[in-house]
Amino acid sequence: MKIKYINRNPEAKEYNRLTDSVGWGIRDEKIIQQALENTLYSLCVYDGDRLIGYGRIIGDKTIFLYIQDIIVIPEYQGKKIGTGIITELLKKVEEYKKVNPNIRTYLGASKGKENFYEKFGFISRPNEELGAGMILKS
């Protein structure tokens, strides 16, 4: 296993392959293409030439960031690749912090995945200070 982390957008097809592999389904490739072009920072993980993981940061670069689409395909899960993705994304967050040390980094954990993110210092809401994270019904 030769794992490489590369800052680039995946092809829309590859992105669909990843989301489908973890049960999130697929989207129209043109929509994906646009979403990826509008992404601040995209991180692909390869074993050789094969895309096996992905994560990205969206946001305004200075006040609010949002970590999205953390995916490791099932056969590679449990091998610390997810840890590698978050570690690399958090290095990028540190870079953005040079402009504003108080930048806020959000994410929405999938059900049952909260523990994975807590290891990196993310806290769940609601808590004493913050209300619940909310999402518009689609």
Ligand X SMILES: CC(C)(COP(=O)(O)OP(=O)(O)OC[C@H]1O[C@@H](n2cnc3c(N)ncnc32)[C@H](O)[C@@H]1OP(=O)(O)O)[C@@H](O)C(=O)NCCC(=O)NCCS
State the residues that interact with ligand X by CB under 6 A: 22, 70-72, 77-83, 109-110, 112-113, 115-116, 119
- For ligand X, the closer of residues 33 and 66 by Cβ is 66
Q: Give min distance, CB of 81 to ligand X, in A.
A: 4
Q: Give min distance, CB of 98 to ligand X, in A.
A: 27
**Sheet containing 104-107, strands listed edge to edge, beginning at the edge strand earlier in sequence:** 3-7, 41-47, 50-59, 64-72, 104-107
Separation between Cα atoms, residue 109 and residue 91, nearest integer Å:
20
- As to burial, measured by CB atoms within 10 angstroms (0-12 exposed, 13-18 middle, 19+ buried), residue 50 is exposed
- For ligand X, the closer of residues 25 and 101 by Cβ is 25
In single-letter form, the type of residue at position 33 comes to Q
Q: Give min distance, CB of 99 to ligand X, in A.
A: 26
